[in-house]
Amino acid sequence: MTLLLSSCAGLQAHPQAIQLMVSKTGVLTQLISTDETAEECSTFTVDAAVAKAAIAESTLVSERAYAHDLDASNCSANGTLSWHGKTGTWTLDRTGRILLVWADGKAEYRLCKNCQAPLFAQ
């Protein structure tokens, strides 16, 4: 467990403000064309502390950047959250891309630039 927390070393935000549950971790989504395998993705084991830190540290990016410009991974984790008075779902991939979809259907695209290996790909 310590290894996972050290993977987000340098995160300075206050993740305790985020209420979060992890539903799945180490998932191979096959949403994009990569050579990643289910075995490789099984090592992407995100716990609530890592997910909270990544979300808290992340910055907003455009939908264009999220979908076309940023590196992406098929290895992901997901769950539900409450943050800033809103509830919704979150998905975090191995490259630090984060998709938040709020209960009203609005999407928020984010990137955790400080998420570090070995958990996160460089």
Q: What is the pLDDT of residues 81-96, one digit of tens each?
A: 999 899 999 999 999 9
The answer as to whether 49 is a domain residue is yes
Give me the number of domains the chain comprises.
1
Tokens of 42: 């099984």
Amino acid at 13: A
- Indicate the pTM of the whole model: 0.82
Inside any domain, residue 119: no
Tell me the pLDDT tens digit for each residue of 2-32.
Answer: 223 334 444 444 556 899 999 999 988 877 7
User: Is residue 30, in this structure, part of any structural domain at all?
Assistant: yes
Residue 118 falls within a domain, yes or no?
A: no
Predicted confidence band of residue 122 (pLDDT cuts 50, 70, 90): very low
- State the residue range of the domain holding 18: 2-111
Tell whether the model's pLDDT for residue 72 goes beyond 70: yes
Angstrom distance (rounded) from CA 59 to CA 90: 14
